[in-house]
Structure 1
């Protein structure tokens, strides 16, 4: 209920790792998020600090992430922020994980071709297949109608009937 939802924009830093135990499929990868700012002295964009997150995806999102993501891909990740810390020998370490709800390519930095996955029958567990560039394209779907329908003229208002004011006595 009271969870910290974040949206992080960055690059895939490690190749996604997939596992499919009996509890359900999951995938994880590291996400590098680098702040950028305009440096007036250099008159150029400059990279700031880089934060690293471990992104966890589950079920169908895990299979789709595994089949779609590669190191260096610009992505947008939305999910629940989980911060963990551990103290050992006087040293404290902290990790920031994102339990992903949605992952997508950042279209401000490139293009992508979306392919719908087919729903698997329950009980049929198969791992994700990496997409090959020479893969057969999906059958063409009819192009959706994007046009806005033409405005219809407003109906003519009914003529108002004139009434004589009532006489006051």
Structure 2
């Protein structure tokens, strides 16, 4: 209810780490976001500091992402921001993660061809039919 939703525009920095879990498919990858700004003194565009995020996608989004996206591709990622502040062996570190809700290619920088996935539900077993009534 009080989640921080963010939308990031950047590039895939690593390959898709795809795994099957008991709760369904999961994909993890690193995402690089580099802001650009206009340098008035030099009259040209400059890159700012790159921020890296770990993006998590689950279930159908994970399956479709793993089959559609490769390292280096430009994306738009929308999801819940999670900032972790931890200490390990006396060293403190902060990381930012995104639990993705939606991901798509950045069409300002290329084209994409969308293919809808048709899902077929498995037929009910005899026990399920009896339970439904």
Partner of 1:116: 116
Where does the alignment leave 5 or more consecutive residues of structure 1 unmatched? Answer: 124-169
2: CA distance, partners of 1:5 / 1:97? 12
Q: After superposition, where does 1:58-97 map in structure 2 within 5 Å? A: 58-97=58-97
Instruction: Report the 3-state secondary structure (helix = DSSP H, G, I; strand = E; otherwise coil) of the residue aligned with 1:61.
Output: helix
Looking at secondary structure, tell me which structure has more strand per residue.
Answer: 2
Task: Please report how far the alpha carbon of residue 121 of structure 1 lies from its aligned counterpart in structure 2 after TM superposition.
Answer: 3.2
Where does the alignment leave 5 or more consecutive residues of structure 2 unmatched? Answer: 124-133
2: CA distance, partners of 1:122 / 1:56? 27
TM-score (norm 2): 0.88
Residue 4 in 1 paired to residue 4 in 2?
yes
Partner of 1:45: 45
Larger radius of gyration: 1
Instruction: Report the 3-state secondary structure (helix = DSSP H, G, I; strand = E; otherwise coil) of the residue aligned with 2:14.
Output: coil
Task: Please report how far the alpha carbon of residue 90 of structure 1 lies from its aligned counterpart in structure 2 after TM superposition.
Answer: 3.0
Looking at secondary structure, tell me which structure has more helix per residue.
Answer: 2
The 4+ residue runs of structure 1 with deviation greater than 4 A are none
1: CA distance, partners of 2:9 / 2:120? 30
2: CA distance, partners of 1:89 / 1:20? 31
Task: Please report how far the alpha carbon of residue 88 of structure 1 lies from its aligned counterpart in structure 2 after TM superposition.
Answer: 2.3
Q: Which has the higher contact order (CA 8 A, sep 6+)?
A: 2
Partner of 1:19: 19
Q: Deviations over 1:10-66 (max 9, x none)?
A: 000001111012221110111000010011222111100111000000000000100
2: CA distance, partners of 1:21 / 1:89? 30
Task: Please report how far the alpha carbon of residue 77 of structure 1 lies from its aligned counterpart in structure 2 after TM superposition.
Answer: 0.4
What number of residue pairs does the alignment pair up? 123
RMSD: 1.4
1: CA distance, partners of 2:115 / 2:62? 15
